[in-house]
Amino acid sequence: MQEYQGKEAKRSHAAVPSPDGPPPTADLSPQANLSPPANLSSPANRSSPARGASVNRRAWAPLSIPAYRTFWIAGLFSNMGTWMHETGAQWLMTSLDPSPSMVSAVRTAMTIPVFCLALPAGVWADRFDRRTWLVSSQLLLLGIAGLMAVLAALGMITPTLLLVLTACMGIGMVLNQPAWQALTPDLVPPAMVPAAVSIGSVSFNLARSLGPVLAGVIIAHLGVWAAFSLNALSFLAVVAALLAWSPEIESNQTRSPPEFMGELKKGMFVVSNSAPLRNALLRVLVFAFSASILWSLLALVATERLGYRERGFGTCLGMIGIGAIAAAWILPIARSRYSSESILLASQWCFAGVLLLIGSWTAAWVILPSLLLIGACWMAAMTTLNATAQVYLPRKFRARGMAAYLMAFALGMAIGSVVWGELASRQGLGVAFWAAAVLMLLTSVAMHSLKIGSLEFES
């Protein structure tokens, strides 16, 4: 841990200008300050088959680090609970009020708190002991999920109450996420950050494959309350991992000063003065706006276009997760041969193509396989943007920087969910999916000039 953090400290100061003044180097050009923080792969080496095999082996190297492996496993159980909860919440709304605007409002209620509170949460996560902060936020989430389970078991949840409680879950998540996102570079060396982000997404998407399917079975036999209950219990796995972790204690010189607004301004200075960070935030906002139609209206696709019930909806979510897991095995080789820009653009085009298919077809044999592809595209796009944000952020400002990233993502998801839900209510699901697909194609081309840098590292 000490060696990893020492390497990262050297890398971070060179990658992003300090808000307290110019960096100690004489070259203040944007290219000098924003160059990737590790040795990049040469173009000649990208096409080497031996290098591709080596990259694929190194892609899973973070799991050899005990602390990272423990958090990965704990995150898997917690993510399974989260996906069971989200499946239950969306399915419950289709039972209480199946209008597209109300079903999509579940996603909006979850993401609005992220947009409103992400930046303060990032400052707080940087100011206070990170482990204590994470334990507290996990216990808060446990309490909210437990309350939803009790109310669902008693049959007391109305559409409005469901949205309010979902927003409360969003508050708990936004308090947790900046600190959790900032944890990865504390567990692995800098060159492993992109691989660690991808492996973390494997945990997330493996849970997305299993959680909704299990939720469908559980909801069909026991009810939504059981899915909420299991989610509440899943937070205990993360709490146990955090209590067992012995983080490196920062010296007084690396701790943030106590002034809230000053810290907020410094964090935003770091983000605004890094071109890859600025571009990653803008591109994740635009991507999330179009992609939000999938997450906000998939429940209606399952019920209205495919005629599915609880298990079928869980299967749809599971197919997306399986596609994302498959992408995790391919991405390391792809990154060794192609630039991040090429991967991001290709994933957006494929994502848009699947949205067109969903809007045009009602046959399960077309839609279900296409969900595998859209899961892989989601994985490629989000891990590329997420890793860019993490790699270019120094530790001192990482939670604040990731809070800005989450804020951009949440804003795109929240506004997109409202827009696509309203459009589907007025014009139908097919038109909404076509519009989202066309918009993604246009914006992917328009945003391609906003470069996010490279993530190919030498070992």
The answer for residues whose C-beta is within 8 angstroms of residue 113's C-beta and 6 or more apart is 167, 170, 171, 173, 174
Q: Calculate the CA 454 to chain-centre distance.
A: 19
Q: Of 84, 78, 36, 306, which Cα lies nearest the Cα of 194?
A: 36
Query: Mean pLDDT over residues 106-122, rounded?
Result: 84
Greatest alpha-carbon pair distance for the chain in Å reads 67
Eight-state DSSP code of residue 457: B
Among 421, 361, 433, smallest CA distance to 98 is for 421
Rg (CA), the chain: 21
How far is it, in rounded angstroms, from Cα 117 to Cα 407? 8
- Which residue bears the tokens 């935003």? 268
What's the pLDDT score for residue 454?
A: 61
Range in 111-125, 188-202, 361-375 the model is least confident about: 188-202
pLDDT band with cut points at 50, 70 and 90 for residue 438: very high
* Residue 407 reports pLDDT greater than 90: no
Looking at the predicted structure, is the pLDDT value of residue 321 above 70?
yes
> Left, alpha or beta for 246 (phi > 0: left; psi -120 to 50: alpha)?
beta
No. of H helices and E strands in the chain?
18, 0
pLDDT at site 405: 84
User: What's the pLDDT at 8?
Assistant: 38
Residue 150 has pLDDT above 70, yes or no: yes
Residue 34 has pLDDT above 60, yes or no: no
Does 42 score more than 50 pLDDT?
Answer: no
- 459 — pLDDT class (breaks 50, 70, 90): very low
pLDDT tier, 439 (very low <50, low <70, confident <90, very high otherwise): very high
For residues 47-67, average pLDDT: 65
Say if CB 336 and CB 456 are below 8 A apart: yes
User: What local confidence, expressed as pLDDT, does residue 395 receive?
Assistant: 65
Would you say 127 and 267 are in contact if contact means Cβ atoms under 8 Å apart?
no
Nearest to 309, CA basis, from 372, 369, 220: 220
- % of the chain with per-residue pLDDT over 70: 80
More confident residue, 234 or 267: 234
213-243 in b/e burial notation, b at 16+ Cβ within 10 A?
bbbbebbeeebbbbbbbbbbebbbbbbebbe
- Cα separation of 371 and 307, whole Å? 16
Q: Tokens for 158, please give them.
A: 């109305």
> Any long-range contacts for 128-135 (C-beta under 8 Å, 24+ apart)?
130/179, 130/182, 130/183, 130/186, 130/247, 130/399, 131/242, 131/243, 131/245, 131/247, 133/175, 133/179, 134/176, 134/179, 134/180, 134/183, 134/238, 134/242, 135/239, 135/242, 135/243
- Number of neighbouring beta carbons within 10 Å of residue 441: 18
User: Are 380 and 344 contacting, i.e. CB atoms less than 8 angstroms apart?
Assistant: yes
Residue 17 has pLDDT above 50, yes or no: no
At residue 404, the pLDDT reads 81
For the residues 366-388, what does the mean pLDDT come to? 89
DSSP state letter for 250: P
Rounded Cα distance between 418 and 311, Å, is 26
Percent helix, strand and coil across the chain, each rounded to 5? 80, 0, 20
Greater pLDDT, 208 or 83: 83
Average pLDDT over residues 109-118: 84
> Is the pLDDT confidence value at 353 over 70?
yes
- Of 3.40.50.2020, 1.20.1250.20, 3.40.50.300, 3.30.1300.10, which CATH number belongs to 62-246+267-449? 1.20.1250.20
- Residue 104's pLDDT is what? 86
Q: How far apart are CA 293 and CA 435, in angstroms?
A: 10
Count other C-beta atoms under 10 Å from residue 65's C-beta. Answer: 18
Q: Which of 55-69, 76-90, 256-270, 320-334 has the lowest mean pLDDT?
A: 256-270
Of the pLDDT bands very low, low, confident and very high (cuts 50, 70, 90), residue 299 is: confident
Tell me the pLDDT of the chain averaged across its residues.
79
> What percent of the chain stands above pLDDT 90?
28
Q: What is the pLDDT of residue 360?
A: 92
Alpha carbons 184 and 192: distance in angstroms, whole number: 10
Report how far residue 394's alpha carbon sits from residue 290's, in angstroms, rounded to the nearest whole number. Answer: 30
Cα(166)–Cα(89) distance, integer angstroms = 8
Average confidence (pLDDT) over 346-375? 93
**Euclidean distance between CA atoms 41 and 60, whole angstroms:** 18
pLDDT (0 to 100) of residue 41:
38
- Per the listing, tokens 């003044």 go with 21
Tokens of 57: 């082996």
Whether this model's pTM surpasses 0.75: no
Q: Which of 429, 410, 444, 279 is nearest to 362 (CA)?
A: 429
